[in-house]
Chain A
Amino acid sequence: MTVLTQVLNGLQLGSIYALVALGYTMVYGIILLLNFAHGDIIMAGAYISWIVMAQLGLGPVLAIVLSVAGCTLLGVLIDKVAYAPLREAPRLSILITAIGVSYFLENGAQLVFGADAKVVPSYVDVGNVQIGAAQLSTVALITVVVTVVSTAVLTFLVQRTKLGKAMRAVSEDMGAARLMGINVNSTISFTFAMGSALAGIGAVLYSMAYTQASPTMGIMLGTKAFVAAVLGGIGSIPGAVIGGLLVGFAEVFVSAIGLSTWKDAVVFMLLIIVLVVRPTGILGRTMSEKV
Chain B
Amino acid sequence: MRTQTTDKPVISLGATAGPVQRRLSMPMRYAMNALLVLAFLLVGNLLVDGGVITRYQTTVLEQVGIYIIMAVSLNVATGYLGQLPLGHAGFMSVGGYACAIFLMRLEPVFGVGARDFVTGSPAALALLVLALLFGGAVAAVCGIIIGVPALRLKGDYLAIITLGFAEIIRVVMQNVDAVLGFELTGGAKGLTGIPSYTNFVNTFAVVAVSLFVIHALMKSRHGRAILAIRDNEVAAEASGVNVTYYKTLAFVASAFFAGVGGGLYAGCVGVMAPAKFGFMKSIEILVMVVLGGMGSMIGSVLSATVLTILPEALRAFSDYRMVAYAVVLILVMIFRPQGLLGSYDFSLSRWVENALNGRLPWKDAPVAADPGDHDAKEANVHA
Asked if A272 and B161 sit within 8 Å, CB to CB, the answer is: yes
Q: Which of B145-177 contact A (CB under 8 A)?
A: 149-150, 152-153, 155-157, 159-161, 163-165, 167-168, 171-172, 174-175
Asked if B320 and A111 sit within 8 Å, CB to CB, the answer is: yes
Q: Which residues of A contact B329 (CB under 8 A)?
A: 96-97, 99-100, 103
Q: Interface size class for chain A?
A: 35 or more
Instruction: Determine the residue in chain A with the shortest Cβ distance to B188.
Output: A261
Q: Which residues of B contact A89 (CB under 8 A)?
A: 333, 337
Q: Identify the interface centre among B86, B160, B161, B327: most chain A CB within 10 Å of its CB.
A: B160
Q: Which residues of B contact A91 (CB under 8 A)?
A: 155-156
Instruction: Determine the residue in chain A with the shortest Cβ distance to B146.
Output: A272
Asked if B157 and A100 sit within 8 Å, CB to CB, the answer is: no
Q: Which residues of B contact A108 (CB under 8 A)?
A: 323, 326
Asked if B326 and A101 sit within 8 Å, CB to CB, the answer is: yes
- B365 close to A (CB within 8 Å): no
Asked if A230 and B157 sit within 8 Å, CB to CB, the answer is: yes
| Cβ of B83 to closest chain A Cβ, rounded Å | 8
Q: Which residues of B contact A291 (CB under 8 A)?
A: 234
| Cβ of B374 to closest chain A Cβ, rounded Å | 25
Instruction: Given A103-B283, A265-B168, A269-B168, verify A96-B149 contact (CB < 8 Å).
Output: no
- A95 close to B (CB within 8 Å): yes
- B130 close to A (CB within 8 Å): no
Stretch from A60-68, A133-141, A219-227 at the B interface: A219-227
Q: Which of A94-121 contact B (CB under 8 A)?
A: 94-97, 99-101, 103-104, 106-108, 110-111
Asked if A265 and B172 sit within 8 Å, CB to CB, the answer is: yes
Asked if B160 and A230 sit within 8 Å, CB to CB, the answer is: yes
Q: Which residues of A contact B168 (CB under 8 A)?
A: 264-265, 268-269
- B246 close to A (CB within 8 Å): no
Asked if A272 and B165 sit within 8 Å, CB to CB, the answer is: yes
Asked if A104 and B337 sit within 8 Å, CB to CB, the answer is: no
Asked if A99 and B286 sit within 8 Å, CB to CB, the answer is: yes
| Cβ of B227 to closest chain A Cβ, rounded Å | 15
Asked if A97 and B149 sit within 8 Å, CB to CB, the answer is: no
Q: Which of B259-274 contact A (CB under 8 A)?
A: none
Instruction: Determine the residue in chain B with the shortest Cβ distance to A270.
Output: B164
| Cβ of B130 to closest chain A Cβ, rounded Å | 30
Q: Which residues of A contact B326 (CB under 8 A)?
A: 100-101, 103-104, 107-108
Contact pattern, B 8-29, Cβ under 8 Å of A = 1, otherwise 0: 0000000000000000000000
Q: Which of A28, A96, A107, A272 contacts B84 (CB 8 A)?
A: A96
Distance A91 CA – B233 CA, assembled complex (angstroms) = 15
Asked if A103 and B322 sit within 8 Å, CB to CB, the answer is: yes
Contact pattern, A 1-44, Cβ under 8 Å of B = 1, otherwise 0: 00000000000000000000000000010001010000000000
| Cβ of A116 to closest chain B Cβ, rounded Å | 15
- B1 close to A (CB within 8 Å): yes
- A90 close to B (CB within 8 Å): yes
- A145 close to B (CB within 8 Å): no
Q: Which residues of B contact A154 (CB under 8 A)?
A: none
Report the 3 A-B pairs with minimum CB-CB distance, sorted nearest first.
A268-B164, A100-B329, A104-B326
Taking A103-B326, A275-B153 as known contacts, 4 extra A-B pairs with beta carbons closer than 8 A to each other, sorted by chain A number, are A93-B333, A100-B333, A106-B322, A223-B167
Residues of chain B whose beta carbon lies under 8 Å from any beta carbon of chain A: 1-2, 78, 82, 84, 86, 149-150, 152-153, 155-157, 159-161, 163-165, 167-168, 171-172, 174-175, 178, 234, 279, 283, 286, 290, 294, 319-320, 322-323, 325-327, 329-330, 333-334, 337
Residues of chain A whose beta carbon lies under 8 Å from any beta carbon of chain B: 28, 32, 34, 82, 85-86, 89-97, 99-101, 103-104, 106-108, 110-111, 219, 223, 226-227, 230, 261-262, 264-265, 267-269, 271-272, 275-276, 279, 289, 291
List 11 A-B pairs, Cβ < 8 Å: A82-B330, A89-B333, A92-B82, A94-B333, A99-B86, A99-B283, A107-B325, A223-B160, A227-B164, A272-B161, A276-B149
